[in-house]
Structure 1
Amino acid sequence: MPDDPFADLGGQRERTRAESIGDELAERDRVDPEEPPRRPEPARPRNRYAWAVGIGALMVIVAVLLLNAVPNRGKAVLGPKQGSPLPAFAAPLASGALVGDANLCQRTPCPDGAGKVPACAVASEQVLNSCKLRGGPAVLTFVVTQGTDCEPQVDRVERMRRAFPDVSFAVVLSGLEHDEAVQLVRRRRWTLPVGLDRDGAVTNLYGIGVCPTTVFSGGDGKVAAVTLRNLTEQQLRDRVRRLAQ
């Protein structure tokens, strides 16, 4: 029998240690209550004007960097002007044995480094001479090998060109030394004339800034059109057909 027969009936009894601690904490909360948790401050709206200005400044910086990166140092990068004669140059052919830079002299007296005689006066089976291309309709494809994948455009020209025997087709290949260019031409089985522009001077002369670029010239030797992108074989045929009319 229990010592306290009235314990289960809720009579008075001594307080436990846990109950005493609970009472002390409750009294402390009443006298010195904790501050309620603060709501997080709403995010401040961004300054859209400052954001737009920042993006605009970044675009200007990128444009300046790209402009300084192209070889023509700020000149037009859209190719030669429509209606103008094909600029004169004489470049070593990949199929020949000549090694060196292209002749860019337009007329006498020739500037230093452009060539000893005007490019149109250079007569050799080992050079690609743009002056000869002026004698009839011509298609001149510019290809830069470094950091690009433009060679397939020449593959398409190679496949369709034989359907137009009265039109001259040629390539200006920039960025490779002679031996490297020879290997590329053999590997891709190009048989059309490929002029070597190892220092990019011809590309600069023509104002080329996009790869591939195709220059179409009419029977008068003047630029008829310039395209700054890849062309399908059918697009090439359509353009050359109009050129030959």
Structure 2
Amino acid sequence: MAGAPVKDQEKKPFNYMAVVGIIFLIVVLVALFNMLKTTESGTVGIGEVGIGDTAAPFAVPIATSDLEGDANVDPEEACQVEGSDALRICDYFDRPLVMSFWFTKGASSCIDQQDVFDEVASKFGDRAGFVSINVRDDRDRVRELIEENGWKVTVGHDQDGAVSNMYRVGGCPTFLFFRRGGVLEEAEIGSTTEEELSAQVRSLIDGQQEQSQEASQGKKSGSG
């Protein structure tokens, strides 16, 4: 007896939408990879200011002072804020400057990094400026940390995060290195050691001295 005829298997329709979805996912992943690669190889932690640009001006209350309020990031007014209880970044542009952004929420190791920063500042404070900016932490807690750790570097309090947003600070700590005049030389995110940070500061100072000598020689040759 002949068996029942076997039906031809029906061909499954081509799933066009699935292919489109896979291609779209690949494109997104490639774009994300390139973005991360660019972030790592570019100017770390900097938003409006790039390497070779002048720092965006701002003024914030000194953490240990009685001055209350949010940061002033108005480019026309920030450097004109009056009072000894305000930290004006423009006041530090007369020599090389190292700035540290830090916070404790979700980054407890940042406290140890400020110990490193303060120690390096004590060694090079006669040749460069050092500024510490706390971002959005409880101010009383910041004051306690300053007293407990004996930090000598001036600490500004970025209460509303306006300064950190302007500089796109996304990690703790973020170190910025400026030449005299507030020109950004280098920016880095992540933990460091006293030896490593000292080497970076020394390089910043030496580079500034070389530029000053070259400028002086240029003036002499021009007047000769």
Q: TM-score, normalised by structure 2?
A: 0.69
Aligned partner of 1:192 among 153, 160, 165: 153
- The aligned residue for residue 88 of structure 1 is 57
Percentage of identical aligned residues: 30
Q: Does 1:158 align with 2:127?
A: no
Aligned-partner Cα distance in 2 for 1:242–1:231 = 16
Aligned-partner Cα distance in 2 for 1:87–1:156 = 25
Amino acid at match of 2:142: A
Contact 1:77 1:209 survives alignment (8 Å)? no
Aligned-partner Cα distance in 1 for 2:134–2:113 = 12
Q: Deviations over 1:169-215 (max 9, x none)?
A: 11110122322221121122211100001211110011211211100
Structure 2: give runs of 5+ residues left out of the alignment.
1-18, 34-42, 207-224
Q: Does 1:242 align with 2:203?
A: yes
Aligned partner of 1:227 among 181, 184, 188: 188
Of structures 1 and 2, the one scoring higher in RCO (CA 8 A, sep 6+) is 2
Contact 2:53 2:184 survives alignment (8 Å)? yes
Matches within 5 A, 1:170-189: 170-189=131-150
Secondary structure, aligned partner of 1:194:
strand
Aligned-partner Cα distance in 2 for 1:182–1:58 = 45
Check 1:175–1:53 CA distance in 2 against 1; reply closer, same or farther (3 A cut): farther
Aligned partner of 2:101 among 131, 142, 162: 142
Query: How many residue pairs end up in the alignment?
Result: 173
Aligned-partner Cα distance in 2 for 1:237–1:176 = 27
Greater fraction of residues in helix: 2
User: What is the root-mean-square deviation in Å for CA atoms of aligned residues?
Assistant: 2.6
Aligned-partner Cα distance in 1 for 2:183–2:68 = 29
Aligned-partner Cα distance in 2 for 1:227–1:125 = 29
Matches within 5 A, 1:1-245: 78-79=45-46, 80-107=49-76, 118-149=77-108, 150-164=110-124, 165-245=126-206
Amino acid at match of 1:217: F
Q: What is the CA distance between 1:220 and its match in structure 2?
A: 2.7
Q: TM-score, normalised by structure 1?
A: 0.64
Secondary structure, aligned partner of 2:182:
coil
Q: What is the CA distance between 1:242 and its match in structure 2?
A: 1.2
Amino acid at match of 1:78: G
Structure 1: give runs of 5+ residues left out of the alignment.
1-48, 64-75, 108-117
- Where do 4+ consecutive residues of structure 1 move more than 3 Å? 52-60
